[in-house]
Structure 1
């Protein structure tokens, strides 16, 4: 177990900036903070008892079991980014069984992947680690690429393989978003009827969101609104990219915004920006997990720990991290996953 001093060492010159910050715009007392009782947030909801059991199974499994935090391994890049570019650094992951093994060895709460990956080894592993079946994907073989999330199977298939949850992506802001919202809202309702939990990848996607000045796909205001739409269609967990900027609505000049809105809700501190994402998840009653991002090589471990600290201190519920873990040898991937988990286990790293 790493100590707070070791985590501070990894954060380097950012240690005080991240570990000593206090959120004043949306204070800690306003949000639902993750903890051992997190699944009880749904006790008064319309989720049936089997859904409550599935949510509890996710939160109770792995190294972070019964802490209120999640560390999920997602590997669907074989479709989303093409298999060769995703797995050439470690060809072992062309074999689906190694994906599940990494999640188990890494102490993850669950493994998220495709119908094909999880279905091939469901009898061997579905009872050993929660399966999260990703039901839709963007594929890059269509030329020119059209960037649309399409369904690859149905909810009953996921249920038949013993899945604990289903996951889906919506490209909010895209031309296809209206169809995707309706498809996934219906799919999530069916998943709930069958007793599975639901996780939504709430990604902003529109060429107008990227200007000469900034890329607002990771703007706190736009991603926060995507989260709010996600919890509206009853996602039990929201997956979102860590915010890197703000003022997307204002600078692109669309949607509804005011200067007072920005001044009252957040600052430019990364923990405050992430706190706005948490607020949009019904003030933390729906867990926010941030993505670990792509692999950059030697800096991956430091970046993963930094992301975990920001998410935890903002009131988030954990990380969902794939490429940083699987694009390296198994032992190193497990070490990286464990280092992230140690941030959430460290009692001296508190919600800001």
Structure 2
């Protein structure tokens, strides 16, 4: 615990001793070793999906805890291979991506059809595969920031994946088409017995007002989570909330004053608690993304994100660039540090 406290620095007491007085923890469906029996089994899902989720939460260092630590490496499409792997060229080889996830004790490795398909016969039985089926590629010029399908649900199923992932850019001009596409894909994945994971991201230039970026505001990301749960995402990937007041700033959409006066405060755990609440009070698990690598501060930032997520009632973290844009041994250590937060009995639900 002292190690976690040291990484949190001056925020240690604020983050570790905070008591959430907005949405009480007793209202949440919290992660745990019985999550499949207690929560997922109530859904309109086939037994195969329950088995797939149990495989996810039963793998890696967090096995049996109900929490997830996932390594995502789809940035070769989303950002370019060079931007992603020049810092550590071994990860141009998909085998090393999967090896990092295994050595790092992850519950699953998430990547593209090509990355996972290229090594599926070697690794699909050794660690759960999560195939990301749509992407925004930025070689088209000018770029138009759209998520388009790169793979089918059947291709993911045939390579032995236990889950599919997809992104919807909520708030964008293309979002309605993306919602329809991914809703249909999730239905098909559930029919085949796979878990569904949604990257529920906001994307609209109007969400930046007077120099303030509201793409990570608790109220707007909370609504994105609600829409993700609406199309039956079993797990929602969301950027951790930073700030609030998006609806008030963009002056569009509908909300309620109680969102700001009773259901949230400025404390980061309370902001993420609102994100969890919009995941049907935890019936869809919230995993927060790790964000970009910034160098020496990555370890402390990753642990901070994990502490906030866990204490808010989230299900875990999905962290990629902070792990693979450094030597493999350091990446493994970073992933283990994240997992240690979820394994610690002293980091409790706020």
Q: Provide the TM-score with structure 2 as the length reference.
A: 0.99
Distance in 2, matches of 1:147 and 1:52, equals 34
Q: Is the 2:247–2:254 contact (alpha carbons within 8 Å) kept by the matching residues of 1? A: yes
Q: Which moved more, 1:29-38 or 1:186-195?
A: 29-38
CA–CA distance in 2 between the matches of 1:251 and 1:177?
21
Aligned twin of 2:329: 331
Asked whether 1:39 is paired with 2:36, we answer yes
Farther-moved stretch of structure 1 (39-48 vs 102-111): 39-48
SS in 2 for 1:198: strand
State whether residues 133 and 163 of structure 1, in contact with CA within 8 Å, keep that contact through their aligned partners in structure 2. Answer: yes
Q: Structure 2 CA distance, aligned partners of 1:182 and 1:285?
A: 22
Cα distance per residue 1:93-150 (max 9 Å; x no partner): 1111111000000000000000000001101100000000000000000101110000
Which of 84, 101, 104 lines up with 2:102 in the alignment?
104
Paired residues of 1:188 and 1:198 also in contact (CA < 8 A):
yes
Contact 1:250–1:258 (Cα < 8 Å) also in 2: no
User: Which among 62, 68, 71 is matched to residue 70 of structure 1?
Assistant: 68
Instruction: Give ranges in structure 2 of 5+ residues lacking alignment.
Output: none
How far apart are the structure 2 equivalents of 1:91 and 1:261?
46
Aligned to 2:55: 57
Q: Equivalent residue for 1:145?
A: 143
Distance 1:133 1:170 in 2: 15
Which deviates more from structure 2 when the two are superposed, residues 143-152 or residues 208-217? Answer: 208-217
Residue-by-residue CA offset, 1:2-40 (whole Å, 9 max, x unaligned): xx1111111110000100001101011111121111122
Provide the rounded CA distance (Å) in 2 between the counterparts of 1:221 and 1:84: 35
**Superposition pairs of residues 167-316 of structure 1, within 5 angstroms:** 167-316=165-314
Trace 1:120-139 onto structure 2 (pairs within 5 A).
Answer: 120-139=118-137
Partner of 2:115: 117
Measured after TM superposition, the shift of residue 234 of structure 1 is 0.5
1:29-82 C-alpha deviation (Å, 9 max, x unpaired):
111121111122111211100111001100111000110100000000000011
Deviation at 1:260, TM superposition (A): 2.8
From 19, 25, 36, the equivalent of 1:22 is 19
1: CA distance, partners of 2:176 / 2:188:
19
Residue in 1 that maps onto 2:2: 5
Is the Cα contact below 8 Å between 1:39 and 1:59 reproduced in 2? Answer: no
Deviation for aligned residue 1:258 = 3.1
* Preserved CA contact (<8 Å) 1:33 1:315: yes
Out of 37-46 and 83-92, give the one that drifted further.
37-46
RMSD: 0.7
Secondary structure of 1:217 counterpart? coil
Report the count of equivalent residues. 349
**Secondary structure of 1:283's aligned partner:** helix
The residue number in structure 1 matching 2:160 is 162
Worse overlay, 286-295 or 28-37: 28-37
Matched-pair contact (CA < 8 Å) for 2:71–2:101: yes
- Are the counterparts in 1 of residues 209 and 249 from structure 2 also a CA contact under 8 Å? no
Q: Equivalents in 1 of 2:258, 2:236: separation in Å? A: 27
Contact 1:83 1:94 in 2 (8 A): yes
Q: Kindly provide the CA deviation profile for residues 297-334 of structure 1, in whole angstroms up to 9, marking residues without a partner as x.
A: 00000000000000000000000000000000000000
- Mapped contact 2:219–2:259 kept (Cα < 8 A): no
